[in-house]
Chain A
Amino acid sequence: MHPGLAKLLRLRLWAGLRRLVRGMRKPRNAAFGAIGMLMMVWWLGSILLSQAHTPQEPPVRVKLSPEPVAGRQAHTPQEPQEPAVERFRTFFPPAMLALAVLQLFTAGGQRTVHFSPAEVDFLFAGPFTRRQLLVYKLAITMPGAAVAGLMFSIVFLRYAHTWVAACVGFWLALVFSQLLTMAFMLLGQTAGQYAFTRARKIALLAVVFLVGVALVLARVADPQADLTELVRGMRDSVPGRAVLAPFTVFARTITAGTVFPELIGWGSLALAINAATLTLVLWLDVNYLEAETAASQALYERLQRMRRTGSALGSVRTARGRVPMLPWLGGSGPILRKQLLRAVRSTPHFLIFAAVMAAAFALNLGVGRGGGGGGASHPMGAIFGLLFMLTFVALQMLNFDFRGDLDHFDWLKSLPIRPAALAAGQVAAPTLALTAIHLAVLACCAPFMPGSQGYLALAALFVLPCNAVLFGLENLLFLLFPARMELATAGSFQAMGRMIVLVFLKVLVAGVFAGVAVALGGAAYLVSGGSWAAALGVAWLTAAAMAIALLFPIAWAFRRFDVSADTPP
């Protein structure tokens, strides 16, 4: 490697460690970091402890090619259950193939490997060859791949015979996955964009065809096969072997039972595959600089938008969608309109997600009613599960409030609007958006549940104050602990700790609020002599009052927010 690039690698590794330590200097960050680290230790420790208490399976006999499965009679109920290692060997190669296909077809256009804007500015005009830059990029991903391999090896330890083999195998598999994508992309650039688009389609069709043929062969061989047997049959068929051959090597490395000959043998083969792919990548020597410059710029702008708006939904790509002028409402009206404009122009992805979820759920209900036996057994529980999941995702994605305005706080503070009114306008937009989605989901489900429409109506009644409380809490905690949306990096314990603490706080406060509303509703029920209307009315009014009351601490937090000190970099 060029000494300059080696120097940069060392500097960046050192800078990563320094960032970790420097971030811990503030007591709050140190606390978040400690919590995050403790959670990580607890999570990994619990996995390791559970592994320690699981009886170890004996290593399987060494064989350098997968043994064909004779047929269904080999897996009769009288025989012991298939070992975890064998299950892993069955499922890992197809999973890796699927991941590779996914990476190939979701990689943006001609992008080969991501270079940051600083790398573009310093390295592309620097005295380096393209091959040297590729080697540098591969080298810089090695520590990340090693950390990821380590994590995977612990998580999947029960499927491996030895931790060392799992660790080495996962690392080699991750490197291969990266090299494979890079090789495909470079080949694509060699062929030119139009030809590459066609080539990708042909490659996809070929893979789908081979996998399809393999599945059909497996099904024909054993019409009663379950999913595991079907995948195993596919793996052992001729087309399956052809497609999965390289991936099988990595599965065998991960599950090697002995250091020699299994780990050494399969590991060397995996290493040779990686070396061959790397040789191909370097041999192609495609001029990727121009494509990467454009891709890097586009990615940088997208990340900047995400940082500014705090959400992947933040990019407004169209000026379509109108919101009528709203009344002044003490200043809340214009703020609400501004946020609603952003909402209608940037929520299609979330709406598609919500629609798919609702459609899948409605279909499930329909199948259940049709006597297919596959429908939901507890439809109300399932509906609330769906609403809960939508709410959980929406709380992060629909940030048309203070969270998405982090870079506009100086402007917001200069407005002649009282903070409480401003807070009301900010919180109202995501609340209304999510309420509309919730109501649409409930309305879609209603025709399938004639006996439960009362419950659905009740749920519809409460979604507005509940959403207002949830978004109010989100905004309050954000103003107290502001942070930008960042890409996750290995070892970012602070971000993890912060997230855990905030989720805990939200659940705690929301639980207290819900408890108060239920208690007051219950009291009203008793006082009114068993009137459900009174109970529900009081509970609703309590929830609404709490949502309104939350605006005042939000306004206070907004007032005390110091743009010069509290705005994260």
Chain B
Amino acid sequence: MSLTHEREDVLVKTLKENFPSDIKEATVVRRSRINVVVPPEKITNIAVFLRDKLGYDHPSGVSAVDYNRESRFEIVYHLATIKTRDQQDIVINLKESVPRNSPRAVSLVNVWPGVENYERESMEMFGIQFDGHPRPEKLFLNDNWEGPPPMRKEVRFPTD
């Protein structure tokens, strides 16, 4: 295994060249892992570019993280590629931040159909709204759940 990150660097460079003003940050975290931070209003264009031009056609998951001290939620799309064989190990984490008091993001189901359930889970567990989602319903929670979104940091267990 080489210690340099040539393939990762090329991907980061391509992204920065194509979206010079839109990408806030694109870094190689460690071997095979790239973080790309984008503004929520630009995410669809960059997602389509990742899928069509860089071969990131295989969604591996979506995470939401509650940074309550910074008053924001971070939504992270974990992306892998089937199309581009020599990048099979490289995962791109596409990140956007939405404000905690009005958490709204654009759904990327139209770009990657496989993210549908992960976005639904982020809706019920964190209370984030995904505009344009085809089924904005509860996934794991009961339909009559009335408590706060349970994965938010202020929700504690009685034993905690």
Indicate whether A and B interact: no
- Contact surface of B with A, Cβ cutoff 8 Å: none
